[in-house]
Structure 1
Amino acid sequence: MKPLFTCLLFFYGFLAVGQPNILWVTIEDTSPHFIGCYGNKDARTPNIDRLCREGVKFTHAFANAPVCSPARTTIITGVLNEAMGTGNHRSKYPLPDMIKGFPSYLKEAGWYTSNNAKTDYSVADARKVIRESWHESSHEAGWWKRGEGQPFFSVFNHMDSHQSRTMTNPYRWYREMVYDRLSAEERTGEHNFEMPPYLHDSEAMRHYFSRVYNSISLTDKEIGKLIDRLEKDGLKEETIIFFYADHGEAIPRGKSGSVGIGYKVPMGIWFPEKYRHLSPWPIGSETDELICFDDLAPTVLSIAGIRPPEYMTGRAFMGKYRKAPRKYVFTARNRIDESPQLARSITDGRYMYTKVFQPQYPELEYQKYADVSDIVKQIRSDYRDKNLNAVQEQMIAPRTDNEYLYDMDRDPWKLHNLAADPAYRKMTSGLRKKLYRHILEIRDVMFLPEYTMDSISRTTAPYTYRLQKDYPLKDILEQASLCGEQDKAEEILQGLESEERDVVYWSLMGIQSLNDIDLSGVKQKILKKMNVSYPPVRILAAAIAFERLGEREKAATVLRPMLKTDNDLVTLQVLQNVQYMQGGPEFFKDDLKAFITLRKKDKGFLNSVSAAETTLFTLGEGELYYANMKKWMD
Structure 2
Amino acid sequence: MVNKIVAALLMSLVGLANQVEAKDRPNIVWIVSEDNGARWLGAYGNPAKPTPTLDKMAAEGFLFTNTYASVPVCAPQRSTWITGINAISMGTQGMRSGFNVPDNIKFYPEIFREIAYYTSKGNDAKSDYNLRSPRNPNDTWNDPKKIVWENLKKNQPFIHVFNTHATHESRSFGGFNPEKDKVAKAQNLASYHPDLPGMHFVYDKYNKCLQKLDGEVAGWLKELEENGLAENTIVIYSSDHGGVLPRSKRYLYNSGTHCPLIVRIPQKFKHLYPAKQPGMKVDELVSFTDFPKTWLSLGGASAEQLKQMQGRVFLGSQKEAEPEYIFTFRNRMDDRMDMVRSVRDHKHLYIRNYMPFVPNGQFLPYTYNMEATRAWKQYFLDGKASKIESRFFGKDRASDEFYLYNEDYDNVKNVASAHQAEIKKMRQALREWQLKIFDSGFLSEYDMTKELRQHELTAYEYVRKPDLYPLAEYIDMADKSLEYDPSNIPLFVKSLDDKYIGKRHWSILGLLNLSFAGKLQADSKALAALESFVNREGESVLQQAYASWVLIREGKKSAGLAKIREIGKDKKYTRTMVNMLDWIDFNDIKPVAIEYFIKGEMGGVDATRVLASVLIEDGSPELAELTKQSESLRHKIKAKEGRIKKLKAGKEKKYSPERVQTEIKKAQAELDQYESERNEVLDKMRAFISQV
TM-score range, shorter chain: 0.7 to 0.9
More displaced stretch, 353-362 vs 145-154: 145-154
Q: Is the 8 A contact 1:585 1:616 kept in 2?
A: no
C-alpha distance after superposition, 1:515-555 (max 9, x if no partner): 22324222211211111222222111122223x13333332
The equivalent of 1:183 in structure 2 is: none
Q: Is the 8 A contact 1:572 1:607 kept in 2?
A: no
The equivalent of 2:522 in structure 1 is: 520
Matched, 1:239 2:230: no
* C-alpha deviation, 1:127, in angstroms: 6.4
CA distance change for structure 1 residues 213 and 277 in 2, over 3 Å: closer, same or farther? Answer: same
The equivalent of 1:44 in structure 2 is: 50
CA distance in 2, matches of 1:349, 1:87: 25
Identity of aligned residues (%): 26
CA distance in 2, matches of 1:315, 1:258: 21
- Mind listing any 5+ residue stretches in structure 1 that lack a counterpart? 1-10, 180-187, 601-605
Q: Secondary structure at the match of 2:65?
A: strand
Amino acid at match of 1:244: S
Matched, 1:477 2:475: yes
Please show how residues 67-78 of structure 1 align to structure 2 within 5 Å. 67-78=73-84
Please show how residues 226-305 of structure 1 align to structure 2 within 5 Å. 226-282=220-276, 283-305=278-300
Q: Is the 8 A contact 2:571 2:603 kept in 1?
A: no
* C-alpha deviation, 1:114, in angstroms: 1.5
Amino acid at match of 1:119: S
Identify the match of residue 592 of structure 2 among 588, 594, 598.
Answer: 588
Q: Is the 8 A contact 1:338 1:611 kept in 2?
A: no
CA distance change for structure 1 residues 557 and 585 in 2, over 3 Å: closer, same or farther? Answer: closer
CA distance change for structure 1 residues 16 and 124 in 2, over 3 Å: closer, same or farther? Answer: closer
Please show how residues 26-175 of structure 1 align to structure 2 within 5 Å. 26-115=32-121, 116-125=124-133, 128-132=136-140, 134-138=141-145, 140-146=146-152, 148-166=154-172, 168-171=173-176
Q: Is the 8 A contact 1:354 1:403 kept in 2?
A: yes
Matched, 1:349 2:346: yes
Q: Is the 8 A contact 1:402 1:483 kept in 2?
A: no
CA distance in 2, matches of 1:525, 1:455: 23
The equivalent of 1:432 in structure 2 is: 427
Please show how residues 484-523 of structure 1 align to structure 2 within 5 Å. 484-486=482-484, 488-491=485-488, 494-498=491-495, 499=498, 500-514=500-514, 515=516, 516-521=518-523, 522-523=526-527
The equivalent of 1:7 in structure 2 is: none
More displaced stretch, 609-618 vs 296-305: 609-618
Q: Secondary structure at the match of 2:284?
A: coil
* C-alpha deviation, 1:557, in angstroms: 2.6
* C-alpha deviation, 1:455, in angstroms: 2.1
More displaced stretch, 530-539 vs 48-57: 530-539
C-alpha distance after superposition, 1:565-614 (max 9, x if no partner): 353xx3312221111100256322344335543634xxxxx765554454
Amino acid at match of 1:461: T
Amino acid at match of 1:586: K
* C-alpha deviation, 1:206, in angstroms: 1.5
* C-alpha deviation, 1:15, in angstroms: 5.5
Higher relative contact order, chain-length normalized (CA < 8 Å, sep 6+): 1
* C-alpha deviation, 1:484, in angstroms: 4.3
Identify the match of residue 574 of structure 2 among 559, 565, 571.
Answer: 571
Identify the match of residue 416 of structure 1 among 413, 431, 438.
Answer: 413
Q: Secondary structure at the match of 1:597?
A: coil
CA distance in 1, matches of 2:133, 2:86: 18
Q: Secondary structure at the match of 2:221?
A: helix
Q: Is the 8 A contact 2:50 2:211 kept in 1?
A: yes
Amino acid at match of 2:376: I
TM-score normalized by the length of structure 1: 0.87
Q: Is the 8 A contact 1:402 1:485 kept in 2?
A: no
C-alpha distance after superposition, 1:404-448 (max 9, x if no partner): 111221111111112111xx2322221111112211222211110
More displaced stretch, 459-468 vs 118-127: 118-127
CA distance change for structure 1 residues 231 and 351 in 2, over 3 Å: closer, same or farther? Answer: same
C-alpha distance after superposition, 1:123-155 (max 9, x if no partner): 0249612112x12323x3454434724322111
* C-alpha deviation, 1:505, in angstroms: 1.4
CA distance change for structure 1 residues 207 and 127 in 2, over 3 Å: closer, same or farther? Answer: farther
Q: Secondary structure at the match of 1:154?
A: strand
* C-alpha deviation, 1:502, in angstroms: 2.0
CA distance change for structure 1 residues 433 and 272 in 2, over 3 Å: closer, same or farther? Answer: same
* C-alpha deviation, 1:156, in angstroms: 0.8
- Mind listing any 5+ residue stretches in structure 2 that lack a counterpart? 1-16, 641-692
Please show how residues 318-357 of structure 1 align to structure 2 within 5 Å. 318-357=315-354
Please show how residues 305-324 of structure 1 align to structure 2 within 5 Å. 305-307=300-302, 308-324=305-321
* C-alpha deviation, 1:492, in angstroms: 5.2
More displaced stretch, 273-282 vs 248-257: 273-282
Please show how residues 353-364 of structure 1 align to structure 2 within 5 Å. 353-364=350-361
Q: Is the 8 A contact 1:29 1:245 kept in 2?
A: yes
More displaced stretch, 257-266 vs 352-361: 257-266
CA distance change for structure 1 residues 171 and 146 in 2, over 3 Å: closer, same or farther? Answer: farther
Amino acid at match of 2:267: E
More displaced stretch, 46-55 vs 149-158: 149-158
Amino acid at match of 1:588: V
* C-alpha deviation, 1:192, in angstroms: 4.8
Amino acid at match of 1:599: G
* C-alpha deviation, 1:215, in angstroms: 1.7
Structure with higher Rg: it is 2
* C-alpha deviation, 1:359, in angstroms: 0.6
More displaced stretch, 248-257 vs 617-626: 617-626
Q: Is the 8 A contact 1:334 1:343 kept in 2?
A: yes
CA distance in 2, matches of 1:203, 1:630: 31
TM-score normalized by the length of structure 2: 0.80
Identify the match of residue 443 of structure 1 among 411, 431, 438.
Answer: 438
The equivalent of 1:367 in structure 2 is: 364
CA distance in 1, matches of 2:216, 2:205: 17
CA distance change for structure 1 residues 235 and 585 in 2, over 3 Å: closer, same or farther? Answer: farther
Q: Is the 8 A contact 1:53 1:285 kept in 2?
A: yes
Please give the root-mean-square deviation of Cα atoms over the aligned residues, in Å: 2.9
CA distance in 1, matches of 2:60, 2:117: 26
* C-alpha deviation, 1:251, in angstroms: 1.7
Matched length: 594
The equivalent of 2:661 in structure 1 is: none
CA distance change for structure 1 residues 232 and 615 in 2, over 3 Å: closer, same or farther? Answer: farther
* C-alpha deviation, 1:345, in angstroms: 0.7
* C-alpha deviation, 1:461, in angstroms: 1.0
Q: Secondary structure at the match of 1:306?
A: coil
CA distance in 2, matches of 1:489, 1:224: 61
Q: Secondary structure at the match of 1:22?
A: strand
CA distance change for structure 1 residues 142 and 60 in 2, over 3 Å: closer, same or farther? Answer: farther
Q: Which has the higher helix share?
A: 2
CA distance change for structure 1 residues 595 and 263 in 2, over 3 Å: closer, same or farther? Answer: farther
The equivalent of 1:182 in structure 2 is: none
CA distance in 2, matches of 1:170, 1:231: 40
